[in-house]
Structure 1
Amino acid sequence: MGIGEIIAGVPLILCLIGVALGLPTITTTTDSSSAAKITTQPVETSTTLSDVKGQCQSAWQKFLIDFKIKYENEFERQKRNKIFCQNWQNIRDHNLQYESGHQSFKKGLNQWSDLTTEEWKEKQRPRLHPEISGAEITTGVSEDVRDEVKCRAAWEKFLIDFRAHYQDSTETEKRRNIFCGNWKAIREHNVKYELGEESFKKGINQWSDLTIEEWKNKQRPILAPEFEDAEDYIKCQDAWKKFLIDFEKKYHDAAEVENRRNIFCTNWKAIQEHNVRYELGTISFKKGINQWSDLTFEEWKNKQRPLPLGQTTK
């Protein structure tokens, strides 16, 4: 064997030694000028299967604690553990792609991480009430069914938010139907708002289970006998509240408060009528509210009468 053949065989020998020792492999190529070009390929390292399994089990234990998960038996627990680890691995692979810029968002574990995709979808699907059967969900009625489902969800939230309670199931169903009619009207109004056809937006409130007439009756004040006009009654109530604050009035009980309020409103109305005559020039002075405005005329006169010597007011 010639010296040239020995020299040519050196790269092959070195390559075999490198593979045997686990070193980066060396390959050579020659161009037209026979100059050697050396390229290296590092040997990749990977996490062992046991490491991945251990990491998953740690995540599994944390999942059980964080979401307070309990299972009926050991068989169910093992089944959910297997599904969880599959989901965990998928999340891990996805997030590696996110880190390398191949995904636009990051995933994480949640309360559904022990479910298959189909099981999760089933959990998200709203439960239709008995009168809506699965067979009815067709293309032709899908919009109505979606509205029904959305309204049911809004109704359940309304019951919780405003603690609404009814006498029986008949009243409950009646109120639910009224609510859904109002809910639909609110939604249609808000579509117009989004289009710029309305200047304000509507929302659900404590009156959303009432008809318009019922709502009007709720807003209508119960007038005292001396009032025929609701606006005057409301003005008197405002004046009464101001009177209580201005003169720091306190009463024994609710009955006394109501009695004094009625007297006050009678006096307030008389003052308003007097002042109208003043504005017309038929009276030379104007009246106003003072600390005696919750007393009858007789009570006021008794307050002005001098007390016998040695007696004091309470």
Structure 2
Amino acid sequence: MCDILKREFSWNNFRLFHQNKTDFYTFQWRWHPHIFLIYRSMIAAYSIGSLSAVLVEGGGPHIMVYLTIWTYLTLTLHFLTAAILAFVCHCTRCGDDQTNSIVLTQVQSEPIKAVNGSFQTDDGRKMSKSNIDDSSTADQETGHNSDESAQSLPWYFQGCWLVSIVAHHFTLVVTLVYFTALFPFMGIQGIAINDINMHGISSVLVLIDVAVGARPVRLLHVIYPIVFGITYVTFSAIYWSRDTVNNVVYNILDWNNPGLAVGVVVGLAFVVIPLIQLLHFGLYRLRLRLYDHIYLTK
């Protein structure tokens, strides 16, 4: 565990670099790829339908001031782009080899281990000895180290990864804040179906996505949800400043009470968001360990 954390807290892990493109359009598990395409299609269609219902019922552009809408838009964008990426890459292989086992480089965050005469990374994906030798030779010839080799992840993969990080993170934040700090004080009986979709089912979908997908999680990527949160806080302050009476979006983010608002922002940025990142990372490591146990890769 100490070695894992040591590798995670490397400056390189702030960046959106990963050596294995397959992790972004396949299951973690050895299931048929067509099942993954069906899964991506269904979850994208569901999120688009739910978002459309909310926007139609919202009745105007004012609905865009809510963090819930920002987050659900981001989540829907993640599911849509993930589905498109999956279909494109399964049809074109995205430039990878035909075996669909494409760990060709060794990076600091995912060391290669010898297993029964072959080699694999921490995520359990196997590679041949010749691929390791070829990778090492290529690095020597180009003068690049293994971290620089990881920069081969295309920009559109990085974009999809960035959207997924923010969506996975803030979906859980919205659910937590809604059911602990907002809903209990609304004084309403029951809950609307759209609220269930955006504040409850959305988090279930995120946890399923984390459980079945192969995308990696980096602890230092916590910076991206924090930036997203700061962006929304800045927007809410500007929106409030135009009408300090009627433009209070949330009672817990009421800039007429700056002490409360700043306290909430600091608590989310330095406590809640990092804890959720630890949760995502823990689920990621658990997923890899289960993979090793189920498929006997170690």
Structure scoring higher RCO (CA < 8 A, sep ≥ 6) equals 2
Shared fold by TM > 0.5? no
Structure number with larger C-alpha Rg: 1
TM-score by length of 2: 0.16
Greater helix content: 2
